[in-house]
Every structure is written in C-alpha cells, then in structure tokens.
C-alpha cells in the first residue's frame, strides 16, 4: 500500500515496551478529541476518544491524557506489539463546526522485535 506521510516523525520502540505518542492541538476551544491508527493501505481506525471535561481515559492497552492548559494530548500504548506499528493521528473537534475533525500531522510508530 501507499505510504502515508513519508516524512512523518517516527517513534521507534521495542516490542513489549510502553509507547507514548504526543500531539499538540490547535484550538483552545476544542471540546472533543480522537486518536486514530492508520495502517498502510487502510483508512484511519478509531482507537479512543476523550471529551474536554476529562483529563484521562483508558481503553484496552491504551490511555489518552488531555492537558488543556498547554493544549496537549497523548496516547499511551502499553506492552507495544508489532501489530501496533502504524501512523497515529490525533484529531480535534471545534464547537460550532458540527463534527468536522481537524487532524494532526501524524506520528509513525515502528515496533521492533
């Protein structure tokens, strides 16, 4: 499949380690955030979301942290596996824009055995 974002920042981790992917979002009024995973040749896959009235949310092996003070979002993946290798995007929703999502540039996660 086509490579998305050939010049994306890359995070390289060892299998079994924890991964932290960071995202700076653009608008202090944004009230909803989503993390997506995109594998080569596929569309963005929903991982986890968080509303602005929360600062942490956990899913299966993933945790999202939201720091509204500095407009920062992070995705933590526990016990990273080779299947986690992909490009990860954060997306924000600005109130009044219906459900239009503004995507970040993405981070490539490379998991090494």
Partner 1 sequence: DSGVTQTPKHLITATGQRVTLRCSPRSGDLSVYWYQQSLDQGLQFLIQYYNGEERAKGNILERFSAQQFPDLHSELNLSSLELGDSALYFCASSVEGQSNQPQHFGDGTRLSIL
Residues 14-43 that bind partner 1 (CB under 8 A): 31-32, 34, 36, 41-43
Q: Which of 25, 85, 88, 89 binds partner 1 (CB under 8 A)?
A: 89
Count, in order, helices (H) and strands (E) of the chain: 0, 10
Question: In which order are the strands placed within the sheet that holds 72-77?
Answer: 19-24, 72-77, 62-67, 56-58
Q: 13 or 62, CB closer to partner 1? A: 62
Distance in angstroms (rounded) separating the CA atoms of residues 24 and 28:
11
Binding residues for partner 1 (CB under 8 A): 2, 4-6, 31-32, 34, 36, 41-46, 49, 51, 89, 91, 93, 95, 97-106
């Amino acid at each position: 499949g086509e490579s998305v974002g050939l010049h994306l920042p890359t995070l390289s981790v060892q299998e079994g380690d924890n991964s932290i992917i960071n995202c700076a979002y653009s608008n202090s009024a944004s009230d909803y955030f989503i993390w997506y995973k995109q594998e080569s040749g596929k569309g963005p896959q929903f991982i986890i979301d968080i509303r602005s009235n929360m600062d942490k949310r956990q899913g299966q092996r993933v945790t999202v942290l939201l720091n509204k003070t500095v407009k920062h979002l992070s995705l933590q993946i526990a016990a990273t596996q080779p299947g986690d290798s992909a490009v990860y995007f954060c997306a924000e929703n600005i109130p009044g824009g219906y459900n239009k999502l503004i995507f970040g540039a993405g981070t490539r996660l490379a998991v090494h055995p």
